[in-house]
Every structure is written in C-alpha cells, then in structure tokens.
Amino acid sequence: MQQNDHYTILELAPSATQEEIKKAYRRLVLQYHPDKTNNDPYARAYFDAVKEAYETLTSNSRRDEYHKERWLKKSSGIKNTSFILTPVSVLQKCIVMEKQFSLLNSTNPANKVIITQSIETLFTTDNIEKLNSFNETDINDTIISTLVKMTCFLNYNQFNKLLPYLQKINSSPAQQTLLLKINRDKKQESLLEKAMPFLVIIAVAIICLFIYFFA
C-alpha cells in the first residue's frame, strides 16, 4: 500500500511548522474522532490517517526520512498522493487498475506478474481486515467482480495464489461460489493444456494404426 501524503492529510504545506502541524491535528481530530462521529468507519479511517500523519511529522527523524521518500518519488516522476482505505476508495482503485491492465498484452508473462503483485500489494491481510470492518458487502461484491475481470487471463497457478486473498474479503455467497468456480475452470484448463501433447500423440498413433490396417 502506498504511503499517504501526510501534508495533504493535514491540509498543510510541506514547509509547515511544528505549531501549525499540532494546530491542524487538533482541528482534524475534533472533526473525525470516533467519539464525535458515532464510530462512523469512514471517519475512523480518516482519523487513523490524521494520527499517522501527525506522529510522522512531529518526529524529527521520521519527518526527515519521510521528506527523503517524498523527494525520491518526486524525482522519479511519481506523484505524492493519499489513499485512505475504505470500500469506496478500494473499489475506485480496482477500477483504475482494471482499466490500466486491460490495455496490457495478455500473452506477456511479465504483465501477468504485474497484475498478481499489484493485487497482493493492495489486499494485504491488514488491508483486508480494515476493508471488512466496514461491513459493506455490496461494495465488496463489486470489488470482487472487478478483480475477476482483472484476472481473467491469469493462469491457474497465478489465480490460485490470489484466491486466499480474495476469499478473505467479506462478500456474498454468490461471489464466493463464483471465485471457486473460476478456480476450478482454470485448473481444468491447466490440466487439459498439460495433457494436450499426449492427446495429440495418441490421436496421431490411432490415425496411423487405422491407415496401416485399413488402407
């Protein structure tokens, strides 16, 4: 999971002073604290991001390290962005990923590795637990559907490696059944692909025998 832009989270410029950071933190904590929002999970997600930003930027060593990371990303042409994990933000990210991957060459093994690693990076055990804490099965179902599109040209071994991650996402029984069906179908395709050379040899042998005895 990418690191958040802590300054964007606190609505501050990178040149912000310690006093400005503390002031922004107090203001946002009052706005997003679980006690103020009736434990709204979306507000809690933002509250956690605010807390992480504050803890990073008020520690001189952590702030220096964070600035180095920001500079490296900027020098590499990577934008400093924020990603607060909620069902909606995960779905949005999956949709963007699916559109990007749909443009890739599906026969290139390297592209299949990129898809697999991208999903593994997004759906870590910790992130899945956070996602499930929202109890929004309908959105999770759409996330699963989008991931299914994204993984359509993965082989059995690649999909089977991702299956445990996908099964941990709280989704409807229908979606869980779909995942198992896709996995079974890919396994059958894999077995058939492995058996194909032998089937061809057997077919050729039968044809040769037929020609030998009946020609």
CATH no. for residue 52? Answer: 1.10.287.110
Question: What does the chain come to in residues?
Answer: 215
Residues 54 and 121 in one domain: no
Residues 91 and 68 in one domain: no
Report CA torsion sign: 173, 178, 183, 185. positive
Domain boundary among 75, 110, 136: 75
Residues 67 and 98 in one domain: no
The helix (run of H) or strand (run of E) holding residue 167 is helix 156-168
Residues 162 and 122 in one domain: yes
pTM of the full structure: 0.80
Residue 1 falls inside a structural domain: no
Residues 119 and 207 in one domain: yes
Distance CA 64, CA 56 (A): 9
Residue 80 falls inside a structural domain: no
Residues 71 and 93 in one domain: no
Residues 62 and 107 in one domain: no
Please report, in angstroms and rounded to a whole number, the separation of the first and last CA atoms in the chain. 67
Residues 125 and 46 in one domain: no
Residue 187 falls inside a structural domain: yes
Q: What is the pLDDT of residue 11?
A: 94
* Sequence-separated contacts (24+) of 76-80 with Cβ below 8 Å: 80/5, 80/8
Q: How many CB atoms lie within 10 A of CB 91?
A: 18
Residue 93 falls inside a structural domain: yes
Name the residue range of residue 42's domain: 6-75
Residues 54 and 91 in one domain: no
Residue 13 falls inside a structural domain: yes
Give the number of domains in the chain. 2
Name the residue with tokens 């060593």.
Answer: 61
* Sequence-separated contacts (24+) of 97-103 with Cβ below 8 Å: 97/122, 97/150, 98/146, 98/147, 98/149, 98/150, 101/150, 102/149
- Taking only the tens of pLDDT, the chain with its 215 residues reads 457 899 999 999 999 999 999 999 999 999 999 999 998 999 999 999 999 999 999 999 999 999 998 888 888 887 777 889 999 999 999 999 999 998 888 889 899 999 999 999 999 999 999 999 999 999 999 999 999 999 998 999 999 999 999 999 999 999 999 999 999 999 999 888 887 788 788 888 888 877 877 76
